[in-house]
């Protein structure tokens, strides 16, 4: 039987399992970007949760530097959320129960990644074509005792849209929340989200359903909520272009500028990572911030010539320190 949609609004708090999120505006896990400093910024600006970059469930058995960097967190991050990728239920269970994930409050299972290499390995969105296996993975993660969410799409293509059955399976298997990216796998990241299928997922289950896809403004977020009846929204790439969108959507006061946010990110990252990683991360984030900036081609050349954090700070001041660009994003 269809479940009723609710009247939750943007910025409202949201209960997932036994955890209350301060807002229903969430930040998606994105490989190469949602590192610890960015998650702290998103949370401070109003995001109800922000997940780690995608972590291989199998890779957790290796004590390598890359995985440790992905999992870096400390007491400043109040709600700790990790996203796992894989295809083997027993491996997920071992990972979920491992000491390395002991500090995390929420485990998100990636069942939506459309990248070819991931699909070929039977991971990500490929799991929507193997619903029994997807169910066993959710059950395996739940045996850790943690809150578990699932991020998925609506299906592999328009001829294989399975979101109604898939959403029900997630709830029955123990998932505490589902995030639905309103595109099929073959749509990748292009095209208007198919709102009706997110709505179908929402009407099919009692657990919270978060809507994802194409949200780059308050208008788009409100349209998504209105057309789907979802319990909240999840932002992806636009969260990097304009992280103040979290404050805008949640009604939180904020006086930050592009420069102040970037300088804060440099300071936090410098205390967590080696210089090469800090330079790489800040350059990528700055490139997003510069998307609508006049003369960005010259600025990018200056930015990518930086060979030290001290040089980076100087260039950031040059790019964003002028009166014209000292305004909020």
Query: Taking each helix axis from N to C terminus, what angle separates 131-142 and 163-173, rounded to the nearest 10 degrees?
Result: 30
Residue of 35, 81, 113, 152 with catalytic role: 113
Task: Show the 3-state SS of the chain.
Answer: CCCCCCCCCCCCCEEECCEEECCCEEECCCCCCCCHHHHHHHHHHCCCCEEEEEEECCHHHCCCHHHHHHCCCCCCCCCCEEEEECCCHHHHHHHHCCHHHCCCCEEEEEECCCCHHHHHCCCHHHHHHCHHHHHHHHHHHHCCCCEEEEEECCECCCCCECHHHHHHHHHHHCCCEEEEECCCHHHCCCCCCCHHHHHHHHHHCCCCEEEECCCCCHHHHHHHHHHHCCCEEEECCHHHHCCCHHHHHHCCCCCCCHHHHHHHHHHHHHCCCCHHHHHHHHHHHHHHHCCCCCCHHHHHHHHHHCCCHHHHHHHHHHHHCCHHHCCCC
Could you confirm whether 113 is annotated as catalytic?
yes
Residues near 315 by beta carbon (within 8 Å), at least 6 away in sequence: 299, 302, 303, 306
Catalytic residue numbers, as ranges: 113
């Amino acid at each position: 039987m269809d479940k009723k949609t609710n009247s939750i609004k943007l910025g409202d708090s949201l209960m997932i399992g036994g955890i209350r999120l301060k807002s229903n505006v969430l930040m998606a896990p994105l490989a190469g970007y949602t590192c610890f400093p960015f998650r702290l910024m998103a949370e401070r600006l109003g995001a109800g949760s922000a997940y780690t970059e995608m972590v291989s469930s199998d890779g957790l058995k290796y004590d390598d530097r890359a995985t440790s960097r992905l999992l870096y967190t400390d007491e400043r991050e109040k709600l700790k959320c990790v996203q796992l990728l894989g295809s083997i239920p027993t491996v997920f269970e071992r990972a979920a129960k491992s000491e390395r994930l002991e500090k995390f409050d929420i485990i998100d299972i990636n069942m939506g990644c459309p990248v070819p290499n991931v699909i070929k390995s039977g991971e990500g969105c490929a799991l929507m074509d193997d619903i029994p296996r997807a169910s066993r993975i959710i059950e395996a993660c739940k045996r850790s005792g943690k809150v578990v969410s699932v991020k998925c799409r609506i299906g592999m293509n328009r001829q294989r849209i399975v979101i109604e059955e898939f959403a029900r399976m997630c709830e029955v298997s123990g998932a505490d929340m589902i995030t639905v990216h309103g595109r099929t796998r073959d749509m990748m990241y292009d095209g208007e989200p198919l709102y009706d299928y997110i709505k179908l997922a929402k009407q099919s289950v009692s657990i919270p359903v978060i809507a994802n896809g194409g949200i780059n403004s308050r208008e788009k977020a409100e349209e998504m909520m209105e057309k789907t009846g979802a319990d909240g929204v999840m932002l992806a790439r636009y969260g990097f272009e304009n992280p103040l969108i979290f404050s805008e959507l949640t009604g939180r006061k904020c006086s930050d500028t592009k420069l102040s946010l970037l300088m804060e990110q440099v300071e936090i990252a410098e205390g967590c990572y080696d210089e090469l990683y800090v330079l790489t991360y800040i350059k990528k984030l700055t490139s997003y911030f510069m998307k609508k900036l006049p003369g960005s081609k010259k600025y990018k050349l200056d930015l990518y010539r930086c060979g030290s954090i001290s040089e980076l700070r100087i260039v950031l001041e040059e790019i964003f320190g002028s009166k014209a660009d000292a305004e909020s994003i």
